[in-house]
């Protein structure tokens, strides 16, 4: 299984011929080193309706005839933009031909800001558990720390947790370290930092913090890939 980071909360995952992308914010992302037209994806997973997570979902999905999986209200809106969707909601799971997806809670907002300065309500934000093969990846989305992360770890082995550390809008490094403990994650990769000045963080200091607690972790630089 291969994972590639594109900055903010955007990750590509390739496994046994299936190609996934989470929260494909590339256009306008100063850290992204790839254009949306270069992305190949069968499935686009979107955690919530903020612009820096919806990103290039419509262009990528239309180009690849990809399925978009998202919280229900957001999925409805994306379907109106002309893409194939599978709506879900918090606590629900569904088995696809590639594996299983379950939506978890996330403490955040979810509204899309238009060029006309309107905010479109996109329903509840979510985290996503993606199980493919024998591995489960937890993309936390944008979230604060919440105690039910313990339940996520109790109910599901988390092989890789993708956790925001940027603070201000989401968990900061200290809360994210506690989240990693509660999840019982086998490995952690930080996300949602350094895209903008207000969320500047040192991801390597975060990794060292986790390692001191016995939690394996690594930093992926934007454009960098790793094998899971």
Express each pLDDT in 47-104 by its tens digit: 999 999 999 999 999 999 999 999 999 999 999 999 999 999 999 999 999 999 999 9
Cβ within 8 Å of residue 145, ≥6 positions away: 171, 175, 176, 178, 179
How do residues 143-202 score in pLDDT, each as one tens digit?
Answer: 999 999 999 999 999 999 999 999 999 999 999 999 999 999 999 999 999 999 999 999
Average pLDDT over residues 125-132: 98
The pairing of strands 18-22 and 67-71 is: unpaired
Helices (H) and strands (E) in the chain, counts: 6, 15
State the Cα–Cα distance between residues 37 and 102, nearest whole angstrom. Answer: 28
**What's the pLDDT at 57?**
98
Q: How far are the Cα atoms of 10, 42, 109, 193, 220 from residue 66, in angstroms, in the given order?
A: 16, 5, 26, 28, 25
**What's the pLDDT at 121?**
97
**What's the pLDDT at 188?**
98
CA-closest candidate to residue 223, choices 23, 41, 3, 20:
3
Residue spans of the domains in the chain: they are 2-227
End-to-end CA distance of the chain: 5
pTM for the model: 0.98
**What's the pLDDT at 52?**
98
How do residues 3-28 score in pLDDT, each as one tens digit?
Answer: 999 999 999 999 999 999 999 999 99
CATH fold group of domain 2-227: Metallo-beta-lactamase; Chain A (3.60.15)
């Amino acid at each position: 299984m291969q994972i590639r980071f594109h900055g903010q909360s955007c990750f590509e995952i390739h496994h046994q011929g299936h190609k996934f992308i989470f929260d494909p914010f590339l256009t306008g992302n100063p850290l992204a080193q790839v254009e949306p037209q270069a992305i190949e994806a069968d499935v686009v997973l979107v955690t919530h309706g903020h612009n820096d997570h919806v990103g290039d979902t419509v262009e990528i999905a239309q180009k690849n005839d990809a399925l978009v999986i998202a919280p229900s209200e957001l999925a409805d809106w994306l379907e109106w933009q002309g893409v194939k969707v599978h709506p879900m909601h918090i606590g629900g799971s569904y088995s696809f031909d590639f594996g299983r997806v379950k939506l978890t809670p996330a403490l955040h907002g979810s509204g899309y800001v238009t060029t006309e300065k309107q905010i479109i309500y996109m329903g509840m934000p979510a985290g996503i558990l993606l199980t493919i093969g024998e591995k489960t990846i937890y993309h936390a989305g944008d979230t604060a720390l919440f105690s039910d992360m313990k339940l996520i770890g109790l109910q599901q082995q988390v092989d890789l947790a993708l956790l925001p550390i940027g603070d201000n809008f989401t968990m900061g490094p200290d809360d994210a370290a506690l989240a990693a403990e509660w999840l019982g994650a086998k490995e952690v990769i930080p996300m949602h930092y350094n895209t903008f000045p207000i969320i500047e963080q040192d991801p390597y200091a975060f990794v060292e913090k986790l390692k001191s607690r016995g939690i394996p972790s690594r930093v992926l630089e934007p454009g960098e890939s790793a094998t899971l």
